[in-house]
Amino acid sequence: MEKRKILLCVSGGIAVFKAAALTSKLVQAGFSVKVAMTESATEFVTPMTFQALSRDYVYTNTFDEKDPAKIAHIDIADWADLVLIAPATANIIAKLANGIADDMVSTTLLATTAPVLIAPAMNVHMYQHPAVTKNMNTLSSYGYEFVEPNEGYLACGYEGKGRMAEPEELVKVVQNHFVKRDNPSWHGRKVLVTAGPTRETIDPVRFFTNRSSGKMGYAIAEEAAARGANVTLVSGPTSLSVPHGVNLISVESAEEMYQTVTACAKDNEMIIKCAAVADYRPKNTFNQKIKKKDGEWEIEMERTQDILKELGANRQPRQTLVGFAAESHDMEVYAKKKMESKNVDMIVANSITSPGSGFQGDTNEVTLFKRNGEVDDVPMTTKVEAAKRILDAAMSIHMERLK
């Protein structure tokens, strides 16, 4: 398959050093990369660095025409499948928003018809300035997309929002752009995903929980968002980063998960309930730490709300519902029973005793049990790849439901 072509436009800020790493990572990810630099950008990192990393000529001067048969800035503008401005200074954002073309980068940006992603990088006060905000809003109205900067320590010594997104984040955004382009059936779909464990409090120190890391649910949410869905992720406590483009709602207990999910359910056409929610919680909780004492300590437990059963009983007519079943034995029996009793369209089942498919790992081996009787095995793979297979099956079911 032909490589996707990325034109990286680099403007002058301290984050240019990140753009060098970004170039390398894009090439390693299989993209063909050309680089255009402003004169200011060359003051931070030389064009030779980007030439070595991209393995291609670096464009810095509108009047430096290497091939007399072509106009360079038009040629690379037409060549690109996607343009990424990283770092994008306040200056280049202002030029683009106001149609100014006075160097290689700005003339190329006005000439391209390819989609443009903008990764701002600047001082926190510059980022918050009304003029910058106005220019970004103007560009958003034109269809340009922004990758928000991170918060943290800035080169100027300030703390705040303005750090360019990390190269790894930007590579993922670029990859997701093409995933979205290739999956039109997902565009604008409202999808609710649950992930992670819940914690059931005993006292201010102790709680009951389970071994779920949330990795499977987060992978599903990230892939659905990459395909163009509007994703809401309701997550119990995890150490995972929020996937790009996903609306995260953090909860802790099974009751909080129940209240949040049932409140959001009616607004989503697909619900994928991946969270490992506690089945029981302590009947009594304590505001003060229970002190150690001689003898045994018995804790009476009570049942939590069955979220999946509630969703199945009150589902909308054109709503697709997917549940998960982590089993230690008789997986098929329990998965099919759960599918029927909870009124869901598909159960994603896995054996937690099989090596590589239990909690906390990066791999999974699952079986998809569908209401129409079909059974699909997904052999051992990464949770990212498993998420793709699960979403493919869910969308196939959803399209049948919409007929």
Give just the sign of the alpha carbon dihedral 116, 268, 347, 209: positive
377 is in an annotated binding site: no
Q: Is 338 known as a binding-site position?
A: yes
Give the whole-angstrom CA distance, residue 176 versus residue 39.
30
Establish whether 279 is an annotated binding residue: yes
The amino acid occupying position 194 is T
Q: Angle, to 10 degrees, between the axis of helix 215-226 and the axis of helix 167-181?
A: 60
Structure tokens at 46: 């030389």
- Residue 282 bridge partners (DSSP): 301
Is 215 one of the annotated binding-site residues? no
Distance between CA 257 and CA 198 in Å, rounded? 8
Nearest to 304 by CA among 326, 278, 273: 278
**If we measure between CA atoms, which residue out of 260, 307, 274 comes closest to residue 197?**
274
Pairing of strands 230-235, 246-250: parallel
**DSSP assignment of 304-352:** PP-HHHHHHHT--TT-EEEEEEEESS-HHHHHHHHHHHHT-SEEEEEET
State the DSSP string of 111-137: H--S-EEEEE---HHHHT-HHHHHHHH
Residue 295 backbone phi and psi in degrees, to 5: 90, -175
Supply the DSSP symbol for 4: P
Residue 316 phi, psi (nearest 5): -75, 155
**Catalytic positions:** 156
Supply angle C-alpha 46, 50, 52, rounded to 5.
Answer: 110
Distances 73 to 144, 231, 243, 336 between C-alpha atoms, Å = 19, 38, 34, 59
161 is in an annotated binding site: no
Q: Are 78 and 109 in contact (CB under 8 A)?
A: no
Annotated binding site for CTP: 279, 289, 324, 338, 342
Annotated binding site: 279, 289, 324, 338, 342
